[in-house]
């Protein structure tokens, strides 16, 4: 079972939800928590892991200047603008390369070969009994977040219950995180902006054919607009987390409410149970 936790916008408490959900289940079964918010991963801050580290590479072209005739075919072919053919050499802009491999195919002189280029790392740890934490980190200045997300998810492949913390928004990294998930928990706040961004995120889950449910975070009790929207879109509200000083102070210390406050572990375990039911999976 793969559950992805996502949100239409940043700052809704998505990572906190993913961490609480994972923590609430580890007494019942092993959980693998995968941090795919690779530009700003933060799940490791909840668990203080001692990880094994693996670099993530992509492939970029390497030009053999002895073979290159400066014909220009590669530069014309690359739709990402990663190659520029000058009068005396070919420039490769590594960060713009999408590793499609096309330039190597079109080069008539076979002057282009592949070389590895590091874009990030994946950290793998077992910070608590029953909990495996895999975190993807995109290197500063790099743009190929989906490449790092792919490797982070691949490391978890074969594990029983996988909870994926996605990037916020609806761009490529989110699609990559949601790919092949069984269920999506969308975390939102009951504000007009929150509802607008929730609607965008729901659009993504619908277009991927992904079942989804909603968690309303930092609720001040005025959630009618979000609840009406959920009813209209046939989306279950799985949990409502109130805006409270007690919850905020636990979270501000970097702690989990499922560990520190009574009743929350059970509430998050209930969310998981409902996800299973909505997916038609027996416990
Ligand atoms: S396609 Fe090959 S030969 Fe032509 S400019 Fe590029 S690297 Fe050089
Ligand atoms: S591998 Fe693809 S994206 Fe990268 S430089 Fe070559 S053509 Fe461009």
* Radius of gyration in angstroms for the set of CA atoms belonging to the chain, rounded to a whole number: 22
What are 109-132's pLDDT values in tens digits?
999 999 999 999 999 999 999 999
pLDDT of residue 62: 97
Residue nearest to ligand 2 atom 2, measured at CA: 100
Number of CB atoms found within 10 A of residue 235's CB: 20
Q: What is the mean pLDDT of the chain?
A: 95
CA dihedral of 16, 235, 132, 117, whole degrees rounded to 10: -90
Same domain, 77 and 191: no
What are 30-89's pLDDT values in tens digits?
999 999 999 999 999 999 889 999 999 999 999 999 999 999 999 999 999 999 999 999
Q: For residue 283, is pLDDT > 70?
A: no
pTM of the model: 0.91
Provide mean pLDDT across the span 243-259.
Answer: 94
9 confidence band (pLDDT: 50, 70, 90): confident
Look up the domain containing 256 and give its range.
2-55+122-279
**Residue 205 covered by a domain:** yes
Provide mean pLDDT across the span 181-205.
Answer: 93
Look up residue 9 and give its DSSP letter: S
Same domain, 152 and 273: yes
**Residue 116 covered by a domain:** no
**Residue 272 covered by a domain:** yes
Look up residue 107 and give its DSSP letter: -
Distance 128 CA to ligand 1 centre (A): 53
Kindly give, in sequence order, each residue whose CB lies less than 8 Å from that of residue 199, ignoring residues fewer than 6 positions away. 8, 229
What are 142-172's pLDDT values in tens digits?
989 999 999 999 999 999 999 999 999 999 9
CB of 99 sitting under 6 A from ligand 2? yes
Length of the chain: 283
The domain that holds 87 is classified in CATH as 3.30.70.20
Q: Are 238 and 211 in contact (CB under 8 A)?
A: no
State how many domains the chain has: 2
**Residue 117 covered by a domain:** no
Closest atom of ligand 1 to CA, residue 77: 1
Distance 90 CA to ligand 1 centre (A): 8
Maximum pairwise Cα distance, the chain: 71
Same domain, 225 and 184: yes
Distance 222 CA to ligand 1 centre (A): 62
192 confidence band (pLDDT: 50, 70, 90): confident
The domain that holds 252 is classified in CATH as 3.40.50.300
Residue burial 15-40, b: 16+ Cβ < 10 Å; e: rest: bbbbbbbbbbbbeeeebbbbbbbbbe
**Residue 60 covered by a domain:** no
Both tokens of 238, joined, read 């799985």
222 class by beta-carbon count within 10 Å (0-12 exposed, 13-18 middle, 19+ buried): exposed
pLDDT of residue 3: 98
Q: Which ligand is nearest to the CA of 115?
A: 2
Distance 74 CA to ligand 1 centre (A): 6
The percentage of residues in the chain with a pLDDT greater than 90, rounded to a whole number, is: 92
Q: Which ligand is nearest to the CA of 112?
A: 1
What are 194-241's pLDDT values in tens digits?
899 999 999 999 999 999 999 999 999 899 999 999 999 999 999 999
Q: Which of 61, 64, 71 has most ligand 1 atoms within 8 Å of CB, for mutation?
A: 71
CB-based pocket (< 6 A), ligand 1: 63, 68-74, 85, 90, 107, 109, 111-112
Strands (E), the chain: 2-6, 31-35, 52-63, 83-85, 90-92, 112-128, 131-138, 161-165, 183-188, 211-219, 237-242
Same domain, 155 and 21: yes
Alpha helices in 126-165 (DSSP H): 145-156
């Amino acid at each position: 079972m793969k559950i992805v936790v996502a949100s239409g916008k940043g700052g809704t408490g998505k990572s906190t939800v993913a961490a609480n959900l994972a923590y609430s289940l580890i007494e019942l079964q092993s959980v693998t928590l995968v941090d795919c918010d690779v530009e700003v991963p933060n799940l490791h801050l909840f668990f203080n892991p001692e990880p094994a580290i693996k670099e993530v590479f992509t492939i970029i072209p390497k030009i053999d200047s002895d073979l290159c005739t400066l014909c220009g075919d590669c530069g014309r072919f690359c739709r990402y603008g990663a190659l520029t053919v000058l009068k005396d050499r070919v420039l490769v802009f590594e960060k713009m390369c999408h590793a499609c491999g096309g330039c190597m195919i079109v080069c008539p002189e076979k002057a282009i070969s592949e070389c590895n280029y590091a874009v990030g790392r994946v950290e793998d740890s077992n910070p608590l009994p029953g909990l495996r934490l895999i975190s993807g980190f995109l290197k500063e200045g790099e743009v190929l977040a989906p490449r790092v997300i792919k490797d982070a998810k691949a490391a978890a492949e074969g594990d029983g219950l996988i909870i994926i913390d996605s990037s916020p928004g609806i761009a490529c990294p989110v699609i990559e995180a949601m790919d092949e998930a069984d269920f999506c928990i969308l975390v939102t706040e009951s504000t007009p902006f929150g509802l607008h961004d929730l609607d965008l995120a729901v659009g993504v889950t619908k277009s991927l054919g992904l079942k989804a449910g909603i968690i309303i975070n930092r609720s001040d009790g005025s959630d009618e607009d979000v609840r009406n929207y959920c009813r209209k879109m046939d989306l279950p509200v799985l949990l409502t987390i109130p805006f409270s000083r007690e919850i905020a102070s636990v979270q501000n210390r970097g702690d989990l409410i499922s560990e520190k406050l009574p009743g929350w572990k059970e509430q998050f375990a209930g969310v998981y149970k409902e996800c299973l039911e909505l997916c038609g999976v027996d416990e």
